[in-house]
Amino acid sequence: MMLGSLKQYVEEKHVGGSLRERLEALGVDEQEALCAILALSPSANTLQELLRLSVEIAARDGVSLHSVLSSEELLAILEREGVNRKEKQKLLRALLEETRFPEMKKIRDSLSAHQAQLRKECGLRLSLPEDLEGDSVSLEISARSPKDLEQLAARIKQLAKHPSTKAVFDILGGHSS
């Protein structure tokens, strides 16, 4: 049996299929914890992804789904003031993904550190592929004169030879760094 707010969500979002079955199978404690997320009015797809990540975390860590859904970090995001519901959904997903895939967080942190080093030392910013899917980077430059282009060419040459640039490509290529 579903709690009222969960039942209302299912009806309003026309949730069916496997997600509906998954929601119906939740215990009362799990439903109550999930209702805090429902207050953000996520799409059915977003809810399914948040629930999938939460279930995987619970299974891996040998804890209840309720404990994952009512963790301090998760509740802190839900209670954060000055953040709209869409941003809270993104923050929740990021938290759950980092918890579910701690190695990915280490990789992102390493890439961010290398990017910061390159910005500081070369004055240029490498843009990484979306979701780190791919092994190419982008570099956007702008110049107001041929002299600017000449200076940028020197900085790009410096960037190409920098150890952090090699590290970024190594990481994107699947090699640790």
Give me the chain's average pLDDT, please: 92
* pLDDT reading at 131 higher than 70: yes
Let me know if residue 93 belongs to a domain: yes
Taking only the tens place, the pLDDT of each residue in 104-129 is 889 999 999 999 999 999 999 999 99
Do residues 28 and 93 both lie within one domain? yes
Judge if 91 and 139 occupy the same domain: no
Side-chain-side CA neighbours of residue 95 (13 Å) = 20
Predicted TM-score (pTM) of the model is 0.71
Does residue 71 sit in the same domain as residue 108? no
DSSP state of 62: T
Residue 94 has which token pair? Answer: 């990021």
| CB neighbours of residue 143 within 10 Å | 12
Residue ranges making up the domain that contains 120 = 103-172
Q: Tens of pLDDT along 23-49?
A: 888 999 999 999 989 989 999 999 999
95 and 123, same domain (yes or no): no
